[in-house]
Homo-oligomer: A and B are copies of this chain.
Amino acid sequence: MKKGSDRFMALIVQKFGGTSVADAQRIANVADIVTQAYRAGNDVIAVVSAQGDTTDDLEAKGREIDPSPSRREMDVLVAAGEQISAALLSMAIQRMGFPAVSLLGWQVGLETTSAHGEARIRRVREDRIRKELDQRRIVVVAGFQGIDRSGDVTTIGRGGSDTSAVAIAAAMHADLCQIYTDVDGVYTADPRKVPGARKLDTISYDEMLELATLGAQVLHNRSVEMAKKYNIQLEVLSSLTRKPGTIVKEKRNMEKMLISSVTKDENSARISVIGVPDRPGLAFKIFSCLAAKGVNVDVILQSIGRNGTKDISFTVTTDKMEEAIGLLQEHLETWGATSIVSDENVAKVSIVGAGMETHPGVAAQMFEALFGENINIQMISTSEIKVTVLVNKKDADLAVRAIHEKFFGAD
Across the interface, A87 reaches (CB within 8 A) one of B64, B73, B128, namely B73
> Hey, what's the 0/1 contact readout for A91-110 against B, CB within 8 Å counting as 1?
11011000001101011000
**Which residue of B87, B94, B106, B107 is within 8 Å of A77 (Cβ)?**
B87
CA distance A72 to B106 in the complex (A): 16
A84: Cβ under 8 A from any B Cβ: yes
Q: Which residues of B contact A95 (CB under 8 A)?
A: 65-66, 69
Residue of B nearest to A61 (CB): B88
A101 / chain B contacts, CB cutoff of 8 Å: 72
A137 CB to nearest chain B CB (Å): 12
Copies of the polypeptide in the assembly? 2
A86 to B76, Cβ gap below 8 A? Answer: yes
Contacts of A28 in B (CB 8 A): 65
- Among B24, B62, B92, B153, which residue has its beta carbon within 8 angstroms of that of A91? B62
Chain B residue numbers with a CB within 8 Å of A303 are none
**A174 interface residue per 8 A CB criterion:** no
Question: In the complex, which residues 302-340 of chain A have their Cβ closer than 8 Å to any Cβ of chain B?
Answer: none
Which of B61, B88, B104 lies in contact with A62, CB distance below 8 A? B88
What is the minimal beta-carbon distance from A273 to any residue of chain B, in angstroms? Answer: 41
B-chain residues with CB within 8 Å of residue A80 when the two chains form the complex: 80, 83-84, 87
In the assembled complex, the CB of A226 is this many whole angstroms from the nearest CB of chain B, namely 26
A153 contacts which chain B residues (CB < 8 A)?
A: 104
CA distance in complex: A83, B152 (Å): 13
Q: Cα distance A19–B141 when bound, in Å?
A: 32
Contacts of A151 in B (CB 8 A): 107, 128
Question: Residues of B contacting A87 with CB < 8 Å?
Answer: 62, 73-74, 76-77, 80
1/0 contact string of A41-64 vs chain B (CB within 8 Å):
000000000000000001001101
Q: Once the chains bind, are A70 and B84 in contact (CB under 8 Å)?
A: no
Of the candidates B58, B69, B90, which one forms a contact with A94 in the assembled complex, judged by CB atoms under 8 Å apart?
Answer: B69
A369 sits at the interface (CB 8 A): no
Would you list 8 pairs from A and B whose C-beta atoms are within 8 A, ordered by A residue?
A65-B95, A66-B92, A69-B95, A70-B90, A73-B102, A76-B86, A77-B91, A80-B84
Additional A-B contact list (10), CB under 8 Å, known A66-B91, A73-B87: A58-B84, A62-B88, A66-B92, A70-B91, A73-B102, A76-B102, A77-B84, A80-B80, A80-B83, A107-B151
